[in-house]
C-alpha cells in the first residue's frame, strides 16, 4: 500500500489501488492526495506545489481520469471504475440523448459539441470559441464546464504551461479539456453500459464502503453524487 505520495508514480499507484482519489482534503478523513503528501512536498514556502505539477503527468499515463469529479472538485478515478461512474452519472444517456430529452442546456451542448469537434481545447480556446469572457461575453463558463465534468462527459486531458525563452515552463498549468471517449476510446468508457445505472451504483457503493469503512452512507452517496 502507498502510504506517502512522493512522485507522480506514487500518485498514480494510489489511484489504481483505491480507484478513487480526490485531490484536496474533504469530509472523509484520509481520502485525498493532500493528506497523503508530506507537507514539505505539498508546499515548500517558495510557491512550489509538487502534487499540483504532477496531476498532468498522471493524467497522461492513460490509466485514470482527472477532473472535477467529487463534490464539484478535482480528483482522479481509475479506468477500472470510471465506466461504472459514467454509467451512473450519465443515467443511461449519451450526451446527445440527454440534450434531446431536454435534460441538458444549450450552453452545455455548445461547450460539449465544441470540445468533441476539436478533440481537445485549452480553457482559453474553448472560452473564445463559445463566446465567453470579456465585457460583452457570456457568463457562467465554470458552472457549465464543472457540470459536464461531474456528469463525466468532459474531462481534463492535460495541462499546458507557458514557457520562457529558454524553453522552461512556469506558472500555473492551464487545463486542456477533452471527452473521455476521445482519450480512452468509446468502448472503454462505455464498458459498464451492459449494466443498469442502479447496478453500477451498487458496485460503486460496495467498493467505497470497503475502501472507506469510516465513511457514512450519506457521505458515500454524496461522493457518488446520488
What pLDDT score was predicted for residue 42? 75
Band the pLDDT of 142: cuts 50, 70, 90.
very high
Answer whether residue 52 is part of any domain: yes
Tell me the chain's radius of gyration from C-alpha atoms: 18
Q: What percent of the chain has pLDDT over 70?
A: 92
Q: Within 13 A of 134's CA, how many CA atoms are on the CB side?
A: 10
Range of the domain at 54: 8-223
Q: Following DSSP, what letter does each residue of the chain receive, concatenated?
A: ------SHHHHHHHHHHHSEEESS--SSTT-STGGGS-HHHH--SSS--HHHHHHHHHHHTSSEEEEEEETTEEEEEETTTHHHHHHHHHTT--HHHHHHTT-S-HHHHHHHHHHHHHSEEEHHHHHHHHTBSSTTSB--HHHHHHHHHHTTS-EEEEEEEEE-TTS-EEEEEEEEEE-HHHHH-HHHHTGGGGS-HHHHHHHHHHHHHHH-TTS-HHHHHHHTT-
2 located within any domain: no
Work out how many domains the chain is built from and give that number. Answer: 1
pLDDT interval class at 135 (50, 70, 90): confident
Among candidates 80, 40, 57, which has minimal Cα distance to 161? 57
3 within a domain of the structure (yes/no): no
If pLDDT is split at 50, 70 and 90, which confidence band does 124 have? very high
Query: What integer pLDDT is reported at residue 136 of this predicted model?
Result: 85
Is residue 133 situated within a structural domain? yes
Residue 104 falls within a domain, yes or no? yes
The model's pLDDT over 185-207, given as tens digits with 9 standing for 90+, comes to 999 999 999 999 999 999 999 99
pLDDT in tens, 80-89: 999 999 999 9
Which has more pLDDT, 121 or 165? 121
State yes or no: pLDDT of 46 exceeds 60.
no
**Reported pTM:** 0.93
Residue 97 falls inside a structural domain: yes
**pLDDT confidence bin for 45, thresholds 50/70/90:** low
Kindly state the percentage of the chain with pLDDT values over 90.
Answer: 79
Q: Is residue 1, in this structure, part of any structural domain at all?
A: no
The pLDDT assigned to 41 comes to: 83
Look at residue 193 and tell me if it is in a domain.
yes
Amino acid at each position: 500500500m502507498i502510504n506517502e505520495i512522493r512522485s507522480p508514480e506514487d500518485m498514480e499507484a494510489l489511484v489504481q489501488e483505491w480507484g478513487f482519489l480526490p485531490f484536496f482534503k474533504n469530509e472523509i478523513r484520509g481520502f485525498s492526495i493532500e493528506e497523503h503528501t508530506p507537507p514539505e512536498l505539498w508546499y515548500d514556502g517558495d510557491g512550489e506545489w509538487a502534487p499540483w505539477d504532477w496531476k498532468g503527468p498522471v493524467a497522461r499515463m492513460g490509466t485514470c481520469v482527472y477532473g472535477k469529479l467529487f463534490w464539484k472538485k478535482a480528483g482522479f478515478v481509475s479506468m477500472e471504475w470510471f465506466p461504472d461512474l459514467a454509467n451512473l452519472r450519465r443515467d443511461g444517456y449519451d450526451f446527445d440523448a440527454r440534450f434531446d430529452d431536454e435534460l441538458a442546456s444549450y450552453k452545455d451542448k455548445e461547450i460539449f459539441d465544441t470540445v468533441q469537434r476539436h478533440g481537445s481545447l485549452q480553457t482559453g480556446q474553448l472560452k473564445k470559441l463559445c463566446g465567453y469572457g470579456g465585457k460583452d461575453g457570456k457568463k457562467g463558463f465554470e458552472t457549465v464546464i464543472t457540470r459536464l465534468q461531474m456528469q463525466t462527459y468532459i474531462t481534463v486531458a492535460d495541462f499546458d504551461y507557458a514557457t520562457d525563452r529558454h524553453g522552461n515552463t512556469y506558472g500555473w498549468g492551464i487545463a486542456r479539456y477533452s471527452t473521455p471517449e476521445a482519450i480512452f476510446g468509446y468502448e472503454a468508457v462505455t464498458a459498464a453500459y451492459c449494466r443498469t445505472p442502479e447496478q453500477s451504483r451498487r458496485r460503486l457503493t460496495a467498493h467505497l464502503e470497503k475502501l472507506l469503512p469510516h465513511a457514512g452512507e450519506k457521505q458515500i452517496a454524496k461522493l457518488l453524487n446520488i
